[in-house]
Chains A and B, each alone.
Chain A
């Protein structure tokens, strides 16, 4: 059993990998769908994502394969996880696979993330209410 905490999602977009890659690596576009920050597809590049209620989250690019793969460390010091975006051409579009892993289960990570999530995404955590109050 590897890490018990891994999230993997994929979605197919009717857009070529180059367009999806731009949305992942161009700060202006990136801010439109996720968070503002100086993301750049350069290994070793450090940037900060503005996660609103979650605060400014430091990130560091670990791996880059243009139009195929972008991996960075996300939220060092709080969630301290690894985000990997994989792009695979599919017909005239792109399958984008997100892997969010490495939740540091040995830290009191949950509290900050939970608090941020509660503020930022009302409703998402409703089911968690009982667990949070315990």
Chain B
């Protein structure tokens, strides 16, 4: 099972937005916080949740801490959804068989 922390971490829209921001490259907390209507402490807290879920890495640079996106846990979530996609494709194919059967009757 994926670390459920990944799912919890992704359940919050602010955290998802932080991840979107980090796709463009590492950012410092202050810099990130300036883009949100939240204070720096709240953004820091969200970053810690993301860090525990292994979705971001911290890198101290001088007095600042930079955060990097780690996409690996996200790909696990993607795999999870991929399995569902596969399942639905099978069901849609089965539906076609049923429709063919019905139209022959």
B-binding residues in A (CB < 8 A):
1, 4-5, 7, 9, 11, 13-15, 19-20, 22-23, 29, 32-34, 96, 98, 100, 103-111, 114, 117, 121, 124-125, 127-128, 131-132, 134
Contacts and interface: CB of A to CB of B under 8 A. Distances in A.
B98 A32 contact: yes
A23 B101 CA distance: 11
Interface residues of B, number: 39
Contacts of B94: 32-34
Contacts of A98: 88, 92
A9 B10 contact: no
A11 B95 CA distance: 10
A105 B8 contact: yes
A15 B100 CA distance: 8
Nearest to B72: A131
Q: Is the interface of A mostly helix, strand, loop or mixed?
A: mixed
Contact of A128 (B79, B85, B96, B103): B79
A93 to B, nearest CB: 10
Contact of B83 (A1, A5, A34, A128): A128
Contacts of B2: 110, 131-132, 134
Contacts of A108: 4, 7
A34 B82 CA distance: 19
B91 interface: yes
A101 B11 CA distance: 13
A127 B98 contact: no
A100 B84 contact: yes
Nearest to B93: A11
A117 to B, nearest CB: 6
A7 B85 contact: yes
Contacts of B52: none
Contact of B11 (A33, A106, A124): A106
Given A13-B96, A106-B7, A110-B1, 18 more contacts: A1-B13, A5-B10, A5-B77, A5-B81, A11-B95, A13-B95, A15-B99, A15-B102, A19-B99, A32-B98, A100-B84, A104-B11, A117-B87, A121-B90, A127-B83, A131-B79, A131-B80, A132-B1
Given A100-B84, A117-B83, A128-B80, A9 B92 contact: yes
